Chains A and B, each alone.
Chain A
Amino acid sequence: MGDRKQARDEEFQSFVIGRWPRLMRTAFLLTGEQHAAEDLVQTTLEQVYVAWRRVGAADDPEAYVRRVMINAHARKHRRRLKEFLAPKDDSGLTHELPDSGDRIAQADDRSALLMALAQLPARQREAVVLRYWEDLSESQAAEAMGCSVGAVKSNAAKGIAKLRAIPGLADMVTHGGRK
């Protein structure tokens, strides 16, 4: 029993170390903030630890981890995100789409995108991140979000449409990003 436990501990350690960077990136897109992302990933992995005996033996531990992260995000970060990223001096930007093209256009591209993501409703943000960053299929995203494929399609489409409405986004895309 001791050997098995030690093996499981080692597996979990490898899992944590190996997945940390990717999970951090996903969490960053979901939360829009460094510390919130760290909190989200740590919370997720703590929950994974509790169920690791089952999760580690499963065919697709990644799917479980994504599901946990999305649930944790939904619980903890939905409301806080807008508060954190909302421009302190322009409350008009905290709802729906940015209505001031100048402000966004002048901002750093990354900030603009993160800001726009932040202004998406949480489900749209999750759908966009899972589909276009995690590169999940609609059914995988649906599994992670605990909803139907149709809901993923709808949320992703609305989210993308809002991102495309950012005045600066077209330029970013045209210039192929910043690299």
Chain B
Amino acid sequence: MSADRETNHDMATHRDIALLLAEAADEVEIGIAPYQAVVRGGRRRKTRRWAVASAAALVIAGSTGALALARTTDDGGDRVAPVATQPPTAEERHVYEPQRSTVARGVDHGKEWFVTIDVWGAPKNAVEAQNQRNAMSEYGVTPTGTRVASDLIGKGWVFGHLLVGDGPPTTVLDGAVEKGDSLSGKDIEAFAMPLESGNSHTAGASHRLVIGKVAPTAQQVTCTWNDGTTIKAERPAPGTGLTGGIEDLIRPVDGSQPDWFVCLGAEGKSFKSVKVTK
């Protein structure tokens, strides 16, 4: 109580200062809250939490174009949630073994290349987290930015791997996925990097491989290269399997809310921009 009295007394004593501060504060031009810029910046920060291979670069982090209050009709809102029975086990949640999806495959300079996405389920407690960390070690991956196993609790983790020719797989990006980290509308998060094949050396190679994620409703992603040419990644025709080349496609990834896409530019081209165009 005495502390409160002291505080109140203090406030009363300096009421004059408070008034002057209020007047000075009123001099600022308030303007319109730049909501779209805030969201863009926030998404950029969010995506920056993803770690990418040293040669790769974050290229874009989201568009707020579709963030209107009005509801669109194609947001997949009619999906039926499964009826919960028993909570799934750690194994069922893929805590100890990731779900792996191949999102792109092609041939460059005579070498076959693949991009795969591994999605690890979120551990619920310290025991699961420790076991997951051990399992990740066996897979040769380490979640960037985590120091102890408990850092993994409550977070799913995604690793993107690039395999070229007979070389070992390279982890080109990784990051946490937490509840609510979903993409919608024209949201897009993508990373550009060289495709290490042929004689191109990572350090000087152009960033012509773009790997990214979009909302499940996105139908087309357009990658624009530094010479103004474009490549469109679209949904594969129904029934398309993994046979043959699957470059430049948007594909679902097991365990991931967003779908993933890959664009590959021709030799010598370098990434300029990317966006959801349909």
Binding site for B on A (CB under 8 A): 1-6, 8-10, 12-13, 16-17, 20-21, 24-29, 34, 37-38, 42-43, 45-50, 52-53, 109-110, 113-114, 117, 128-129, 131-133, 135, 137-138, 160, 163-164, 169, 172-173, 176-179
Contacts and interface: CB of A to CB of B under 8 A. Distances in A.
B34 A42 contact: yes
Contact of A46 (B14, B30, B45, B71): B45
Interface string B8-43: 001100101111111111111111011101110111
Residue from B29, B42, B67 having most chain A Cβ neighbours under 10 A: B42
Interface range for B: 35 or more
Contacts of B16: 173
A4 B17 CA distance: 44
A8 B42 CA distance: 14
Contact of B178 (A6, A53, A160): A53
A8 B180 contact: yes
Contacts of B257: 1
Contacts of A8: 180
B200 interface: no
Given A53-B180, A133-B18, A173-B16, A17 B35 contact: yes
A110 B27 CA distance: 8
A100 B6 CA distance: 34
Given A24-B30, A110-B23, A160 B39 contact: no
Contacts of B75: 2, 6
Contacts of A25: 25-26, 28, 30
B76 interface: yes
Interface in B71-118: 71, 75-77, 79
Contacts, number: 125
A160 B14 CA distance: 8
Contacts of B69: 10, 13
B20 A16 contact: no
* Chain A interface, DSSP helix/strand/loop, else mixed: helix
Contacts of A34: 28-29
B7 interface: yes
Interface of B: 3, 7, 10-11, 14, 16-31, 33-35, 37-39, 41-46, 49, 67, 69, 71, 75-77, 79, 178-180, 182, 184, 257
Given A10-B69, A46-B38, A132 B14 contact: yes
Nearest to A45: B38
B182 A113 contact: no
Contacts of A178: 23
Residue from B14, B18, B24, B79 having most chain A Cβ neighbours under 10 A: B24
Given A8-B180, A160-B17, A24 B28 contact: yes
A20 B29 CA distance: 11
Given A3-B77, A8-B180, A46-B45, A29 B17 contact: no
A20 B33 contact: yes
B186 to A, nearest CB: 13
